[in-house]
Structure 1
Amino acid sequence: MGISENINEILLDIKKLSPYPEKVNLVAVTKYVDVETVKEVLKSGAHILGENKVQVLTKKHDELWDYSVNHKWHFIGNLQKNKVKYIAQFIDMVHSINKLSLAQEIDKRAQEHNRVIDVLIEINLFQEDSKEGYDYQDFLNDIPALLTLKNIKIKGLMTMAPYTDNEDLLRNGFKKLRDLKDELNTLYFNDSLTELSMGMSNDYKIALEEGATLIRVGSKIFE
């Protein structure tokens, strides 16, 4: 199947599997494809583009800045503080806040451009050493400082699941992230956390069933 058919299939999965499909958005992960292919993605009905390298993101953004199809850019990878300045002017959401100092840098750069940037807190829920993300307790400790930042808006949580066929492990992890969001909304955020970024090409169906609002899908689109 082609890109358009694959995206249509994913959008149908959202309608079939999510308890609230109207709240769900597909983030098309375009890190391995060129700009002409990205244009095909946009024409096929996916309007949020996800990249995990700043240099690639800025190049594609520059090449598409006047493209007629509306689109948003989400940064989904590990973001180095010294690279924030290159994307602060245009990035729509950063999925991967994993330390206070990174949040502070995004806040500072957003302020320079008179912007408020939406962010997600990445939680290392599956305790993998190879994965970035906050330890949950460390995040709780940082919440008072994070809530003082005026030029970022914490919209929800993100997690990176292991690549595994163990559906129970994945489902329990995604459910745990949803439960953490509910807990945080009650204790600190007054129901302002609305997003759950979880699920990729191999596990997005499970993530949808467990309440994902952002699914980050790449290879499934281009297979």
Structure 2
Amino acid sequence: MPDTETQLAPEAVHRRVDEVRERIGRACERAGRSADEITIVGVSKTFPMQAIVSGVAAGLTHFGENRARALRDRVEERPGRWKGGDVCWHMIGHLQTNKAKFVARHADRFEALDSPRLAEELNKRAAKNDRVLPCFVQVNISGADQKYGLPPEELHDFLDACAKHENLHIDGLMGMASFVDDSETVRSEFARLRTLAETYTGDPANVSLEELSMGMSNDFEVAIEEGSTVVRIGSAIFGPRS
């Protein structure tokens, strides 16, 4: 296994990004879509800042962190777009309510909104920072007890409730499929998330559902075939984590 410095060297990351883009292109061809529809979020969590430097050199502009304080530290070192920088920082991990202040202050987008209490706290914190925070609502499409996210049957009512939060904007939905080799199980779970978005009939000004964040290194091609617009790629770009 290569050392971290070699693994994250610009040429190594660039090569992997090109490979991922080729796979995205083939998946889009199968689905009759354009690769321009797909945003790659490089999951940089736990990697040193060299991962960001090499990712940017390879053409990436979106990066994902799963811990609120780590996100804060990243943004302080390399500001995101909301703070006038050149990258977009996604908070992709489960968030405790008492850490909402970090996300409202530093994240360009929050991908794991999954409870009314968290929505209320984020809205309050975003208002204090004089901003509207873009969010994805996380849905537990796999049904696994250990997974975070709203139960699918509660989603539409939750979206209606989000309409009262003037400092949040719900851009779309996020879901993680079961980590299994059965591609048809994975496909059906992604299709369920797409259907949940398509069947929402509410029309509040701050809920658009234009994005579907689904698909990671192990399943992003199936996710794209089922309508994903945002894929979160870690190891396929940055290599294995130590």
**Alignment TM-score, normalising by the size of structure 1:** 0.93
Higher mean C-alpha deviation, range 18-27 or range 198-207: 18-27
The match for 2:8 is none
Q: 1:179 to 1:126 in 2, by over 3 A?
A: same
The match for 1:49 is 63
Within 5 Å, give how 1:113-128 maps onto structure 2.
Answer: 113-128=129-144
Shift of 1:87: 2.6
Q: Distance in 1 between matches of 2:194 and 2:154?
A: 18
Q: Look up the equivalent residue of 1:28 and give its one-letter code.
A: G
Instruction: Tell me the alpha carbon deviations over residues 117-163 of structure 1, each in whole angstroms, 9 at most, x when there is no partner.
Output: 11011111110011000012223333332111111001111111121
The match for 1:17 is 27
Structure 2 stretches lacking a partner, 5+ long? 1-10
Within 5 Å, give how 1:164-203 maps onto structure 2.
Answer: 164-184=180-200, 187-189=201-203, 192-203=208-219
RMSD: 2.0
The match for 2:99 is 83
Conserved 8 A contact 1:75-1:95: yes
The match for 1:99 is 115
Shift of 1:36: 1.9
The match for 2:231 is 215
Conserved 8 A contact 1:29-1:51: yes
Instruction: Tell me the alpha carbon deviations over residues 35-55 of structure 1, each in whole angstroms, 9 at most, x when there is no partner.
Output: 122211111111101000112
Within 5 Å, give how 1:134-153 maps onto structure 2.
Answer: 134-153=150-169
The match for 2:87 is 71
The match for 1:157 is 173
Instruction: Tell me the alpha carbon deviations over residues 174-223 of structure 1, each in whole angstroms, 9 at most, x when there is no partner.
Output: 11111111101xx1137821110000000001111111000011011122
Q: 1:113 to 1:66 in 2, by over 3 A?
A: closer
Higher mean C-alpha deviation, range 35-44 or range 116-125: 35-44
Higher mean C-alpha deviation, range 80-89 or range 68-77: 68-77
Instruction: Tell me the alpha carbon deviations over residues 54-82 of structure 1, each in whole angstroms, 9 at most, x when there is no partner.
Output: 12111111111399971010010101111
Q: Look up the equivalent residue of 1:58 and give its one-letter code.
A: R
Conserved 8 A contact 1:42-1:69: no
The match for 1:30 is 44
Q: Distance in 1 between matches of 2:97 and 2:89?
A: 18
Conserved 8 A contact 1:76-1:96: yes
The match for 1:129 is 145
Instruction: Tell me the alpha carbon deviations over residues 1-31 of structure 1, each in whole angstroms, 9 at most, x when there is no partner.
Output: 8110111122232233232422210010001
Higher mean C-alpha deviation, range 68-77 or range 206-215: 68-77
Q: Distance in 1 between matches of 2:160 and 2:199?
A: 16
Conserved 8 A contact 1:43-1:69: no
Shift of 1:111: 0.7
Conserved 8 A contact 2:173-2:197: yes
